[in-house]
Chains A and B, each alone.
Chain A
Amino acid sequence: MRYIYLFMATVMTTLVFGQEHPNPENINNNKFRQLYQELPTPNVYRTASGAPGHEYYQQRASYDIEVELDDEKQIIRGKERIHYENNSPDPLRYLWLQLDQNVRAQNSDSKLINVERMEDFRSLGRVHRKMFEFDGGYKIEYVKATNGEAMNYAINKTMLRIDLEKPLAPGKTISFDLKWWYNINDRMKIGGRSGYEYFEEEDNYIYTIAQWFPRMCVYNDVEGWQNKQFLGRGEFALPFGDYDVEITVPEDHIVGATGVLQNQSNVLTSEQRKRMEAARNNDIEPTFIVTEEEARENEQTKTTATKTWKFKAENVRDFAFASSRKFIWDAMPVNINGNQIMAMSYYPKEGNPLWEQYSTEVVVHTLKTYSKYTIDYPYPVAISVHAKSIGMEYPMICFNGGRPQPDGTYSKRTKYGMLGVIIHEVGHNFFPMIINSDERQWTWMDEGLNTFVQYLTEQEWERDYPSRRGPAHLIADYMGGDKEYISPIMTNSESIWQFGNNAYGKPATALNILRETVMGRELFDHAFKVYCERWAFKHPTPADLFRTMEDASGVDLDWFWRGWFYTTDHVDISLSSVKWFQLNTGNPKVEKAFQKEQDEQADEHIGVTRNEKEIKETVTEKKPELNDFYNKRDIYKVDPLDEKEYQELKGRLTQDDIELLNSGKHFYELQFDNIGGLVMPLIIQVQFIDGSEEIIRIPAEIWRRNNYHVSKVFIFDQEVEKFRVDPYLETGDTDLNNNSWPREVEPTRFKLFREKQSRENPMQRQIRIEEMENN
């Protein structure tokens, strides 16, 4: 394909054609319009820059709790005193608390709202669950003022309202008491973020206890009282506060919890205390506080005596703990900018050998990496507890799966699954435990951001770590094609389809694309850190993230948020056509010779070819006298007038113009079509005939007027052999078949599998080597 074209432009030109997607409502549907209508109006609490406003406030809830774990009946019994500070400008007539355990009450809405068919009940376990046999809801014994007088309260499913005798005035604090108990759920039978795992062969339990006490709801400038019921998916929204918690458990249990242990001398042996002191001074490897051998011995005891572990935690939004006589316990310090943090792990022998080798090391690595990209980890401890089959996060403590086979072997998949879940759950300390977004409304704000930093952390753990989420190409299958039951990221937590891809994978990928492709690492990392610093120990909303990322980077990203977060569009940018041009030099000797060559090389119609043979003689061949000027003229011959006109042209041109005309530059006009709907930067790899290559990066704003069709002209010194769009798989393009010129067909997975199958395996290769050496 080659065209002759008189081309006098000296700059690259963008050609924009008319819109092919007319807007029937005659409203602005441009993908680059600002997000003014979608985002809330900035105010004194939250600014247009994405920072907290000068009148930003947040409530505070502190707790003194005494709790007893009944290891015989698997019951939690507790009483708590809540100190609630009203820092808002509003008087509060009533207070709302969360009763999240009521999600396991027998009349729970979470069971009623499940869409079901009979085929969903083909196992006994499912029938049992459907029969609502387990009652795990709160039994509230009292709600009292600190003077002992009963307070009026009402329970609405997973929420409890306390009606105050007189409104709680701005700046005032109220304290009150609750007493309650509930049955702990068998996590392995009926599920749950917390509960117990029973080890039948030795009659022991591991308790991982969370959402276990009535907790204050968030009251803020965005929603007033956060009053969305807990239906099981959208997690938690909690204010910060200080905790003093006393946990009474069987005497042979080891307890790990949010916060710092206050009474080591009462609950640890002198040997354990000595080991803990040694651990504080050994940052080379984890130090065992309780060894596997000791844990195995401990498993055999079944004491009825109890002891009380006392913990104190400051400025946290929640409190969780784990307790078992099965726990092995190790610890290692990590220094984050002068602050020593104890990274610790609690796990049963069933977790080994994986857990003793990796858990605490991974906690340390996670704290270091997240601190680099967000804020310095501010708490004194970070704990990873082994809980089969789940991953769940709380301040300073998380419950993580990853269990080897009973014979102690494990697959690579188990290993990387375990490393990934520990990184993820420890990472949740930052999102949402510190950068405290509302999980009940927006799962992606903590899961998505956390999965993004998880990816960065995994890649710093091991080169080519097999991250499941983060790289753009891994989200392509999910995003492409049919959109039924695919939700935009900006969807409430309870209404999301495909939770994992929507709230974890897609936002993490979006941030990764911003970092690697749209903004660049330096701008992104700065802006992301600013967001984390601005909203640490506060309650950010999506708008605060969107605005801060733009405010701190100087990059207008409204088009990106709109496309990736508010729509289900996908990336499919097609390189639809390529046209090749060269400048006409104006020199008749050059141009006429070139024209002759082109004409001789031109494809010939089949009729012309056949007529050459079949028409023996034409009329003008028989009678040459019929040929006139036009028949005789050699159009490729350079005549004196051609020469004269060329000299005149040269006289009008500057030396630069003449050099440009004679430069032999190649012009390529590329047409791009946006098939998937998401506007994205164009990343174009150009391979030249001499084997060299060039990467051209064009910002997404090339689509700013026409969102669906653009063209671009590139000028090169040499001929191009191949163009390829998105060569490094940066954008999540769902169809690579239309990304290349000349066209390249993306191989199917089956073809790749077949190619691999046809090759010899390493053992076969070794046999051939040995045969060769023997011969």
Chain B
Amino acid sequence: MKIMRIFLLFPFVLLLMSFHEYFMSFAELDYNEESNRLEVSISVTGHDLEEYMKEKDMEIVGLESCSTDPISMKKLAQVINNGFQLFLDEEKLQLDLVGLEVNTKDQATFYLVSREIDQPEKLKVRYDLLMNYFIKQQNKLTVFTGNKKEFYAFLKHKPERIIEL
């Protein structure tokens, strides 16, 4: 049997979750017919994300200050882009982080856009944001198609879904 080596992270601080846990993030996906781009927003609990960044040794300034700190934004973009991926005919679509809002309800919302593409009929979505740290993490995607909304749940054993637009 082949032995695999794992690389451990050495965080400066080991934080622990509070007992009032959240462990859910909510994304929305829409195709903008004017700009011909996919628009995505991802809302995640602020303290979950901060704990995740620390655990992964990706120190950032306070979430509220990240939008003016390019280094922190780059780290966050890396986490978000790894945690939410779109595939069109097996090609991974680049999603550019264009904004971050943090509110007093402890929600951090990231805004992303794709390059210009024709409206796809189907997309493969991989949405495992934070799942490799919070075992119970569950992510939900709402897809806007015309006047309708479709909901898709993503779980650790089911991180990918095919969605129809």
Contact = CB atoms under 8 A, between A and B. Distances in A.
A748 B155 contact: no
Given A122-B9, A390-B19, A477-B140, 12 more contacts: A115-B135, A123-B11, A187-B16, A189-B16, A389-B17, A390-B16, A405-B62, A413-B63, A466-B105, A499-B136, A500-B22, A753-B99
Nearest to B42: A749
B158 to A, nearest CB: 7
A350 interface: no
Contacts of B135: 114-116, 120
Nearest to B135: A120
Interface in A411-426: 411-413, 416-417, 421, 424
Contacts of B6: 118, 121-122
Nearest to B47: A417
B39 interface: yes
A405 B101 CA distance: 20
Interface string B76-95: 00000000000000000000
Contacts of A416: 104-106
B68 interface: no
A534 B4 CA distance: 61
Contacts of B106: 413, 416-417, 468
A66 interface: no
A498 B24 contact: yes
A131 B111 CA distance: 40
A119 interface: yes
A281 B158 CA distance: 61
Given A124-B9, A401-B18, A753 B41 contact: yes
Interface residues of B, number: 55
Contacts of A734: 149, 151
A193 interface: yes
B158 A484 contact: yes
Contacts of B158: 484
A84 interface: no
A772 B62 CA distance: 37
A349 B99 CA distance: 36
Contact of A737 (B22, B41, B101, B149): B149
Contact of B136 (A124, A191, A498, A757): A498
A735 interface: yes
B77 to A, nearest CB: 16
Contacts of B39: 748, 750-751
Interface of A: 114-116, 118-125, 127, 187-191, 193, 389-392, 401, 405, 411-413, 416-417, 421, 424, 466-468, 477-478, 480-486, 497-501, 504, 734-735, 737-738, 743, 745-746, 748-751, 753, 757
B111 A504 contact: no
Nearest to B43: A749
Nearest to A190: B16
A34 to B, nearest CB: 32
Interface in B18-43: 18-24, 26, 28, 30, 39-41, 43
B19 A391 contact: yes
A483 B22 CA distance: 17
Nearest to B132: A119
B14 A485 contact: no
Contacts of B19: 193, 390-392
Contacts of B148: 735, 737-738
A120 B9 CA distance: 12
A481 B147 contact: no
Contacts of B152: 481-482
Contacts of A504: 20
Nearest to B109: A749
B154 to A, nearest CB: 9
Contacts of A477: 24, 26, 140, 142
Nearest to B8: A124
Given A421-B20, A484-B158, A500-B20, A757 B99 contact: yes
A618 to B, nearest CB: 44
Contacts of A421: 18, 20
Contacts of A124: 8-11
Contact of A482 (B9, B23, B153): B153
Contacts of A750: 28, 30, 39-41, 111
Contacts of A485: 138, 153, 155
A424 B18 CA distance: 13
Nearest to B51: A389
A412 B28 CA distance: 26
A620 B99 CA distance: 71
A189 B138 contact: no
A187 B16 CA distance: 8
Contacts of B142: 477, 480-481
A123 B8 contact: yes
B163 to A, nearest CB: 12
Contacts of B18: 389-391, 401, 421
B104 A122 contact: no
Given A389-B16, A498-B136, A753-B111, A468 B24 contact: no
Contacts of A114: 135
25 contacts: A118-B6, A120-B135, A122-B6, A123-B10, A124-B9, A125-B14, A189-B16, A190-B16, A191-B16, A193-B19, A390-B18, A391-B19, A411-B63, A411-B64, A468-B106, A477-B140, A481-B140, A484-B153, A486-B153, A500-B20, A500-B21, A500-B22, A748-B39, A753-B41, A753-B109
A466 B62 CA distance: 19
Contact of A480 (B9, B132, B151): B151
Contacts of B62: 405, 411
B94 to A, nearest CB: 17
Given A122-B9, A411-B64, A482-B140, A501 B16 contact: no
B147 A738 contact: yes
The winner among A118, A123, A190 for most chain B CB atoms within 10 A is A123
B123 to A, nearest CB: 16
A501 B147 contact: no
A734 B136 CA distance: 23
